[in-house]
Amino acid sequence: MDVKAIVVREHGGPEKLLYDTIQRPEPQPGQVLIRVAYAGVNFIDVYHRTGLYPVETPFVPGMEAAGIVEVTGAGVEEFAPGDRVAYAMARGSYAEYAVVPAHLLVRVPSGLDLEVAAAVMLQGMTAHYLTHSTFPLDQRHTALIHAAAGGTGLLLVQMAKMRGARVIATTSSEEKAARVREAGADEVILYDRVDFREEVRRLTGGKGVDVVYDSVGAATWEGSLDCLRPRGMMVSFGNASGPVPPIKPLVLTEKGSLYLTRPMLAHYCATREELLWRAQDVLGWVLEGKLKVRIHKVYPLAEARQAHQDLEGRRTSGKLLLQP
């Protein structure tokens, strides 16, 4: 059976995202075939497309989706055809159908739209591990959050406030700043207008912040280090502006015996129990209205190229989705 999908046959720019026909995948033992309702668009998809994160071609991109169970492979007992499910961390979601290991799936709570579930899985669990595990925030802490108007950024601001922290956020425009303030940020810095380092020092009385959550990468790297208090933590979890250059460990000493980590979601969902904890927290908070999800735009699957162009061009605020 032929189905529609986005295929990358060689690494490169958005033009390498080809709307094509492939054979429908079939689930192997321990796997589930999902009829994709919505697929999430994330920067990791860009890194796979460009080859920054090497993936053998050809491949179907996309690490996140929500949909309906179509067929279960041998040995799968937790799910059955017709179940509403969502997942992250399994490549191949830019398609009408995707095969996913059953241990990565979670049920979508009754009353929660599949659109919203697809929008919050990857970025929501990322914000969860950053605020709850990488640097567990509480009311004693001040956090600096870059790219705060993005999909992950808006969730990160909300969760940091749920934890009781003071949040200083950066973004690029007044329109985006309004959304960041609505998410709960205490202070918002427009980094295209002022030096965010100087502004953070001013806002903290010269002390610096306890933690920086930085998904931007190269453009903010040095400035982020300069914003930290002695023994503060630099959490570098993305490369939106390009990868961070090599660093000499002595730099961390010179800037105050800093901590540096480069985490990834898979290492913070290493067990089924940990995955369910994070996913159920996130989906539950959304259902209860404690966590707001902003969906910037839903694109037809055939317009994946445009979605990537908009994401990389900083023309969005919130989540981008593809709909097969």
Tokens encoding 110: 């009754």
* Site of tokens 């739209």: 113
| Ramachandran assignment for 12, one of left (phi > 0), alpha (psi -120 to 50 degrees), beta (any other) | left
CATH superfamily, domain at 138-262: NAD(P)-binding Rossmann-like Domain (3.40.50.720)
- The pairing of strands 228-236 and 2-8 is unpaired
Tell me the percentage of the chain whose pLDDT exceeds 90: 97
CATH topology of domain 2-121+269-323: Quinone Oxidoreductase; Chain A, domain 1 (3.90.180)
Distance, CA of 258 to CA of 106 (rounded, Å): 37
Helix (H, G, I), strand (E, B) or coil at 305: helix
- Helices 272-288 and 114-129, axial angle in degrees (round to 10): 120
Q: Kindly state the average pLDDT of the residues 222-230.
A: 98
Lookup: tokens for 292 = 């707001």
CA gap 57, 54 in Å, rounded: 9
**What would the pLDDT profile of 149-201 be if each residue is shown by its tens digit?**
999 999 999 999 999 999 999 999 999 999 999 999 999 999 989 999 999 99
Integer Cα distance of 188 and 224 in angstroms: 15
Q: What is the pLDDT of residues 257-316, one digit of tens each?
A: 999 999 999 999 999 999 999 999 999 999 999 999 999 999 999 999 999 999 999 888
Query: Domain ranges in the chain?
Result: 2-121+269-323, 138-262
Q: Are 304 and 322 in contact (CB under 8 A)?
A: yes
For residue 324, whether the previous peptide bond is cis, meaning omega lies within 30 degrees of 0, is no
